[in-house]
Amino acid sequence: MFIDIFIFGTIWGAIYTILALGFTLIFGVVRILNLAYGAIYMVASYLIYSLVSSLGLAAVPAWCLAVIASTLFGVVLYVVFVYPMRDSLGRVLIVTAGIAIFLQEVAVLVYSTEPRYVPTVLPGGLVIFDVRVTYQQILTLFAAAALVAILHAILVRTRLGRELRAVAQDTEMASLMGIPVERAYLTAMALSSALAGAAGALVAPFLTVNPEMGWSPLLVAFTIVVLGGLGSLWGTIVAAFIVAYAENLTAFLISPQLRDVATFAIMILTLVFRPHGLFGKGIVE
């Protein structure tokens, strides 16, 4: 059983990492709580479903198109809705929640509430220590690792990344140093939305796609950001795996229905006993 917990905890830890990195980017750099984040993940999953099932596109090009569409959507969302009211956290919260509900209802109208599926890219699987793991899950694990490496390279090695880190560290100082803060915000929003789209692409083939699928990841991403510490890349990764293992332990040892309870418990305990998270209020590094 502990092998099951380790294997499935690791797979979910990888997915949660991608989800939470996108969330922490927008939270750490732009300092807004984007409640439409889960909806972007949902829209990307439906887009892949439509491209593959209705238009007959191959899975990998569909994934890429979904990530590009998510990125563009994130940019439009920022320019049209977030930018005019960025200084008011409350207004951004309400507007993004409204957009999330709007997108969910659109999905209900277009696709109905019946669950949809996205075909798997790699059928079949292999047995690891008596536990059968599908190739799709292994692909998800490697794809998540590759995305983390790419994000790390962008943040550390590119000018855009350095701007993002500077703005995350001290917006005012970065502005005084001539860093284009607005461009950094837009980049953070674009990267964040791309990661939400990528997470949707990774998860859709082995779960089902439905209009409400965006809310649960939002809660998980928020918990991970709280636990890992705002804006900390490595903190986010460690926290994502802690949450994934805690959920799987709870599911195996107590009941799968208490999985979300474990997530809520971590969030509440962190906010009460360690409000700055495990790694403090760090910078993206």
**By the rule CB under 8 A, 54 interacts with another protein:** no
By CB under 8 A, name the one of 213, 242, 262, 284 that touches another protein.
213
119 forms part of the interface with another protein (CB under 8 A): yes
Return the percent helix, strand and coil in the chain, to nearest 5. 75, 5, 20
Among 80, 73, 68, smallest CA distance to 106 is for: 73
Tell me: does residue 248 bind another protein (CB under 8 A): yes
Smallest separation (angstroms) from another protein to the CB of 47: 18
Count Cα neighbours of 243 within 13 Å in the Cβ-side half-sphere: 36
Instruction: Please state, as a whole number, how many other Cβ atoms lie within 10 Å of the Cβ of residue 80.
Output: 11
Interaction between residue 207 and another protein (CB under 8 A): yes
Lookup result for tokens 């999905």: 107
Minimum CB distance to another protein, residue 119 (Å): 6
Out of 84, 98, 115, 280, the only residue in the binding site for another protein (CB under 8 A) is: 115
| Kind and range of the H or E run holding 127 | strand 125-128
Per the CB < 8 A criterion, the answer to whether 208 and 220 are in contact is no
Please pick, from the candidates 72, 85, 86, 120, the single residue that binds another protein as defined by CB under 8 A. 120
Tell me if 10 contacts another protein by CB under 8 A. Answer: no
Strand 131-134 and strand 125-128: the pairing is antiparallel
Task: Using CB under 8 A, list all residues that contact another protein.
Answer: 1, 4, 8, 108, 112-115, 117, 119-120, 123, 125, 131-132, 134, 136, 206-208, 210, 212-213, 248, 251-252, 255-257, 259
